[in-house]
Amino acid sequence: MIQIRPTQPEDAGALLHLAGAEPLFSREEAETVDELLETYLEQEDHGGYFFLSAMENGKLLGFACYGPTPLTQGTFDLYWIAVSTPAKGKGVGRTLMAHVEDEVRKRGGRMLVLDTSGRREYAPTRAFYTSLGYTHAATLADFYAPGDDLIIFTRLLS
Ligand SMILES: CC(C)(COP(=O)(O)OP(=O)(O)OC[C@H]1O[C@@H](n2cnc3c(N)ncnc32)[C@H](O)[C@@H]1OP(=O)(O)O)[C@@H](O)C(=O)NCCC(=O)NCCS
């Protein structure tokens, strides 16, 4: 059974391995996960970055990172979510997102915003967000690179 809990220091190795092994993430993106995880684990207030780990029988299957968007009232960003390749398509991502949403509500959040890519490889990721009730709010053409649009999804949390 999948258990979601705040990421612990002992998860760091497996979490960074998972991010590094994710075919969709560039090396720079995996390094960003590393930087945010260090901030979360080392700063008392977590620097505004909160990580959740999805565990099964002591094994890390996925993680998510979210936090309050600076200078907003009740808006939160989902910074990262990833599920290990063998665990994909089995409901781990859905369970992680449900916990992120619960945590955001507990922290007084009313809106969750997330960015993704318009590239073809990200079609399953976009389908994932749509299936969870996220709305395609905006597209910024060629934002990441020529031919690589930024797609912004949002969800109002009640
Ligand atoms: C996106 C991701 C987090 C989804 O996690 P997951 O555990 O594989 O997804 P789930 O099994 O919880 O799927 C939930 C729903 O999303 C949709 N979905 C998931 N994978 C899908 C796919 N490959 N194609 C189409 N829809 C998909 C389905 O509607 C699914 O519901 P169903 O199983 O009842 O049909 C995971 O696939 C992943 O790590 N992708 C690579 C990293 C990434 O893109 N991260 C986001 C960066 S912006």
pTM of the predicted model, to two decimals?
0.97
Q: Report whether residue 125 contacts ligand 1, using a CB cutoff of 6 Å.
A: yes
Which structure tokens are listed for 105?
A: 């509500």
Three-state SS for 98?
A: helix
List domains and CATH numbers for the chain. Answer: 3-114 (3.40.630.30)
Distance in angstroms (rounded) separating the CA atoms of residues 26 and 10: 24
What are 29-72's pLDDT values in tens digits? 999 999 999 999 999 999 999 999 999 999 999 999 999 999 99
Residue 130 Cβ contacting ligand 1 at under 6 Å: no
The DSSP 8-state label assigned to residue 69 in this structure reads P
Q: How confident is the model at residue 79 (pLDDT cuts 50, 70, 90)?
A: very high
CB atoms within 10 A of CB 70: 8
Q: Mean of the per-residue pLDDT values for the chain?
A: 98
Bridge partners of residue 68, in order along the sequence? 76
**Ligand 1 centroid to residue 43 C-alpha, Å:** 31
**Mutational pocket test of ligand 1: of 128, 153, 154, the residue with most ligand atoms within 8 Å of the beta carbon:** 128
Strand 111-117 vs strand 75-83: parallel, antiparallel, or unpaired? parallel
Q: Report d(CA 148, CA 9) in Å as an integer.
A: 34
Atom of ligand 1 nearest to the CA of 96: 12
